[in-house]
Amino acid sequence: MKALKWILLVILVLLVLIVGIGYMMPKEVTVTTSEEINVPPAKVFHFIAGFVDRTAWDPWIKDDTAAKCTFDIKAGYVGSKYSWEGPKVGKGMMVVDSVVPGSYLLNSVSFTKGTPIPEEWTFTPAEKGTNLTWTINMSSGSPVGRLMNSMLKGMIQRTIDSGKVDLKNYLETHEVKMSKLSEIGLEEFPAVEALTYSGVVTMEEMPRLFGESIGKVMAAVQAQKIQPQGTVFTFYSDYDAATGKMKITAGIPVSSGGKTTGDVVAVKYKAFNALKGLHSGPYEELMGSYEALGKYAKENNIELTHEAGEFYLNDPGEIKDPTLLQTLIALPVKK
């Protein structure tokens, strides 16, 4: 009986010590690491916020090859979920809570027990690409929780330090695509009237011409007091391989009655059949979608006219996340 009392006393003393030490520990423990990655911020952000190939570098999953991972990806990132379950890593889930496209990401990490842990990422331009910072904040009001967080800090620091190295190596040796192509098929595009502006330029000069064209066409639409009747478009034709130049016509569909004014020309386009595809993502990656459509045409014996049209379904001036830009590509087919 006396021995039992001593054992209970020792246990009580240990509990008091643990509680006392726990209260001496900070309520919040922050673990952070940084890295410079030779990839633009927009692509690094998309890769991490979109859970692209997450298992290829995730330091916890790397140590638990038996873990099963599932992903539920949402447009615009917020609400996207990454779940895992494994003998070593346990069961948990990561949810995207908040983003500033290209520069900031906040995730919440939940395990079977305990409150969610915030995980923050910042992405800033650097000389060679992106300065990335990865921060995990652990907080607890209980003495045991404070003690555990302080004890885990070193292990978590070593883990994310190794994770950032794997992340850097992966990003710098793999292409990061921010776009996708969908809704591929043949479609008849209806006849339309439009006010247009044309020029002969190289692809490098196209953005300048496009901005100039839309400005002039919109001014003509307003001056003539007519209504736009569709999305802004661009047609490409007459490509010259020797000079790398082509005719580019930018326009806005309008109600009937549009008139030619100076360099702005009223055009009545006839209906045409085309191989179409919806490109979702930045304009800089349109070429990949063109290549995919060209491959589809070849595999399905579809003869193209070597012309192309792009219909811009949303306004880049209003879209902060480039993955949400939508461009309908139309490649006219031979009759």
Model pLDDT for residues 130-188, shown as the tens digit of each residue: 999 999 987 665 665 565 666 677 788 899 999 999 999 999 999 999 999 999 999 99
Domain that holds residue 288: 180-332
Cα(136)–Cα(257) distance, rounded to whole angstroms?
A: 61
On whether residue 20 sits in a domain, the answer given is no
8 versus 217: which is more confidently predicted? 217
Please check whether residues 100 and 192 belong to one and the same domain. no
Cα(221)–Cα(208) distance, rounded to whole angstroms?
A: 20
Please check whether residues 163 and 247 belong to one and the same domain. no
On whether residue 210 sits in a domain, the answer given is yes
Please check whether residues 161 and 189 belong to one and the same domain. no
Please check whether residues 324 and 205 belong to one and the same domain. yes
Please check whether residues 190 and 232 belong to one and the same domain. yes
From 154, 173, 192, give the residue that closes a domain: 173
Please check whether residues 158 and 189 belong to one and the same domain. no
pTM metric for this prediction: 0.82
Question: Does the pLDDT value for residue 115 go beyond 90?
Answer: no
Please check whether residues 149 and 271 belong to one and the same domain. no
On whether residue 55 sits in a domain, the answer given is yes
pLDDT of residue 14: 44
pLDDT of residue 204: 86
- Which residue is it, tokens 């410079």? 36
| Edge-to-edge strand list for the sheet holding 104-111 | 28-37, 129-139, 117-126, 104-111, 90-100, 81-86, 68-72
Tallying the residues shown for the chain, one arrives at 335
| Edge-to-edge strand list for the sheet holding 308-312 | 180-189, 272-280, 326-332, 308-312, 233-240, 245-253, 192-202, 265-269
Please check whether residues 154 and 34 belong to one and the same domain. yes
Please check whether residues 268 and 226 belong to one and the same domain. yes
From 116, 140, 173, give the residue that closes a domain: 173
Report the CATH number that the domain containing residue 305 is assigned in CATH: 3.20.80.10
On whether residue 12 sits in a domain, the answer given is no
pLDDT tens per residue, range 15-30:
444 444 444 555 677 8
On whether residue 156 sits in a domain, the answer given is yes
Cα(137)–Cα(68) distance, rounded to whole angstroms?
A: 25
Please check whether residues 209 and 150 belong to one and the same domain. no
Domain count of the fold of the chain: 2
- Which residue is it, tokens 């016509």? 249
On whether residue 9 sits in a domain, the answer given is no
On whether residue 89 sits in a domain, the answer given is yes
Please check whether residues 162 and 234 belong to one and the same domain. no
Please check whether residues 29 and 160 belong to one and the same domain. yes
From 173, 206, 232, give the residue that closes a domain: 173
Report the CATH number that the domain containing residue 128 is assigned in CATH: 3.30.530.20
On whether residue 150 sits in a domain, the answer given is yes
Please give the C-alpha separations between residue 135 and each of 112, 268, 308, in angstroms, as whole numbers. 22, 57, 46
